[in-house]
Amino acid sequence: MLWQRIARPLLFLLPAEKAHYFSMGMFKAIFALGLGSLFRLRNRAKEPGLKTNVFGIDFENPVGLAAGFDKDARWFPQLASLGFSHVEIGTITGEAQPGNPQPRLFRLPADRAIVNRMGFNNSGSDAVARRLSVTPKADSTDILGINIGKTKVVPVEDATQDYLVSFERLFVYADYFTVNVSSPNTPGLRTLQNREPLIELLSKLIKLNGDLALDHECSPKPILLKIAPDVTEEQLSDIILILREVDLDGVIATNTTIERAGLETSEQDVNAIGNGGLSGAPLTIRSREVVGKLYDQLKGDIPIVGVGGVMQGEDAWQMIRSGADLVQLYTGFIYGGPGTVRQINRYIAKKLKQNGFETVAEAVGSGRGGAGDAK
């Protein structure tokens, strides 16, 4: 209520990127006053059925913060206290880069959507590794995902090396890694979703993962691939084959879309914004469809993280029913505010109970013709 009526309207008076840094600055200040544990206490999901183990990791609940919100690992301990079981930082690139010129972040309130062309603004994997080395998690149950991508000035042919450098620098800090080949804002990046480059990239990362695990006497880190909602049927089939071929740990579907069809915002306003990835409510159905298709093919062998247009509990629930083991959100958090994660987790717990499921894992894919919920 406070968010919808007061905080959000005030923040939406500021340009979107300023509002982002301002609100996180305020949030961090609240924590510095020692109020963090109150947030954690209020937002922690208490229903035991929400706990879930995916790719060998225990998650307190199935809801995480999608990449792009905390690109530089500045706020992840505080963000986890809002009820997210995991926070995915990044995208982090091999070299520091400023991203695209501003303005590059736009709200479309009529559509509960965002368009961004940030372009992986971040301080590079070396600086982020140093920050992580002095930034402890707020709680040992918090899961930190690290999303890596390609530096803009590095040619696509040399992309693998750029990913490998970041992977090695960040290895010890990650609970899992996400390989981002699906942002629309780095020229050529999405061609890495094609068969040959994708196999080369993933195989080399998996090899390095094994080597680093031996060096550090730990298990290899789960590696996930994040894909676009705009992939063709053929690309999606290829990706599914590759996921199986290299035996990847998981897939995240989806990133933002370059589609603009069916928006409430006027065509003139949409055109004035220009290029970028669209996220939020207009993506709900498309991302869910991609998750469903992945689930039908992967049949639970490879876990799926569903992201895209999760604005409220019902969207998260439908994502799980379509086959997502975990869900993530970004735009839903901007529109719904700090109480969103708690509400979503409560809703999932309620639906689990209503449909006779004891755990989230039991409900995964239940809307794809399997047993369970028919609602």
- Least distance in angstroms from the C-beta of 251 to ligand FMN: 12
Of 165 and 179, CB closest to ligand FMN: 179
Cis bond upstream, residue 103 (ω within 30): yes
Is residue 308 involved in binding ligand FMN (CB under 6 A)?
yes
Of 220 and 309, CB closest to ligand FMN: 309
What does each C-alpha distance from 208 to 88, 119, 244 come to in angstroms?
21, 26, 19
Taking CB under 6 A as the criterion, which residues in 162-181 touch ligand FMN? 180
Candidates 33-41, 77-85, 154-162, 306-314; binding stretch for ligand FMN (CB under 6 A): 306-314
Q: Which tokens belong to 73?
A: 């690992």
Kindly give, in sequence order, each residue whose CB lies less than 8 Å from that of residue 260, ignoring residues fewer than 6 positions away: 270, 278
- Least distance in angstroms from the C-beta of 338 to ligand FMN: 15
b/e map of 130-168 (b: 16 or more CB within 10 Å)? Answer: eebeebebbeeebbbbbbbbbbbebebeebbebbbbbbb
Torsion of CA 177, 89, 165, 117, to 10 degrees: 110
Is residue 283 involved in binding ligand FMN (CB under 6 A)?
yes
Is residue 114 involved in binding ligand FMN (CB under 6 A)?
yes
Residue nearest to ligand FMN (CB): 68
Q: State the Cα angle at 78 between 14 and 313, rounded to 5°.
A: 75
Question: So which residues are the catalytic ones?
Answer: 183
Is residue 91 involved in binding ligand FMN (CB under 6 A)?
yes
Is residue 189 involved in binding ligand FMN (CB under 6 A)?
no
Candidates 27-35, 77-85, 112-120, 354-362; binding stretch for ligand FMN (CB under 6 A): 112-120
Backbone angles phi, psi at 132, to 5 degrees: -65, -30
Of 118 and 138, CB closest to ligand FMN: 118
Q: Which tokens belong to 80?
A: 């986890």
Q: What is the largest CA-CA distance in the chain?
A: 57
- Least distance in angstroms from the C-beta of 46 to ligand FMN: 24
Question: Applying CB under 6 A, which residues contact ligand FMN?
Answer: 66-68, 71, 90-91, 105, 114, 116, 118, 120, 147, 180, 183, 226, 255-256, 279-280, 283, 307-310, 329-332
